[in-house]
């Protein structure tokens, strides 16, 4: 397999300036190209594009995962442990609404991971996680 390349993900948002405040201000993502209808963000080295959709509907579907109601759909990033802890502390000091508060799940199993879920101002669910051991990311 070739070296990991940045992904590109486009998501709908109901307000571009609220998206900018959240992704740039709260998460610290830098911006790239933009227009009146979309903004590119550097989402931890990946290209996240927020597209204006004033009619965006929020999904309330969730599946149970290790005792949590995990929102569907969601997206996120796997961070190094120290980066996850730093982000977790930063977010805990803001008015961000946690869907799932920072915690460790699948304790003492191959998939043990620290995780937290938040949502952006348009209701897009984001997961930030860190594995005890990155070699276990796809381990069954």
Nearest to 115 by CA among 54, 58, 51, 71: 71
Q: What is the pLDDT of residues 41-58, one digit of tens each?
A: 999 999 999 999 988 787
Q: What is the mean pLDDT of residues 88-112?
A: 92
Q: Is 28 left (phi over 0), alpha (psi -120 to 50) or beta?
A: left
Q: What is the mean pLDDT of residues 62-74?
A: 93
Q: What is the pLDDT of residues 2-53, one digit of tens each?
A: 788 999 999 999 999 999 999 999 999 999 999 999 999 999 999 999 999 9
pLDDT at 1: 66
SS3 19: helix
Q: What is the pLDDT confidence band of residue 104, given thresholds at 50, 70 and 90?
A: very high
Catalogue all structural domains in the chain, each as residue range(s) with its CATH number: 8-52 (3.30.720.120), 67-136 (3.10.180.10)
């Amino acid at each position: 397999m070739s070296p990991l390349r940045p992904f590109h993900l486009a998501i709908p948002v109901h307000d571009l300036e609220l998206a900018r405040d959240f992704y740039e201000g709260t998460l610290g993502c830098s911006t790239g190209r933009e227009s009146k209808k979309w903004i590119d963000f550097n989402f931890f080295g990946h290209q996240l594009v927020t597209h204006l959709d004033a009619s965006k509907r929020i999904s309330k579907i969730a599946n149970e995962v290790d005792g949590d109601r995990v929102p569907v759909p969601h997206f996120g990033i796997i961070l190094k442990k120290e980066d996850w802890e730093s982000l977790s502390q930063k977010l805990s000091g803001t008015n961000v609404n946690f869907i799932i508060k920072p915690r460790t799940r699948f304790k003492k199993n191959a998939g043990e991971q620290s995780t937290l879920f938040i949502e952006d101002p348009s209701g897009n669910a984001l997961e930030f996680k860190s594995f005890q051991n990155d070699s276990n990311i796809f381990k069954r």
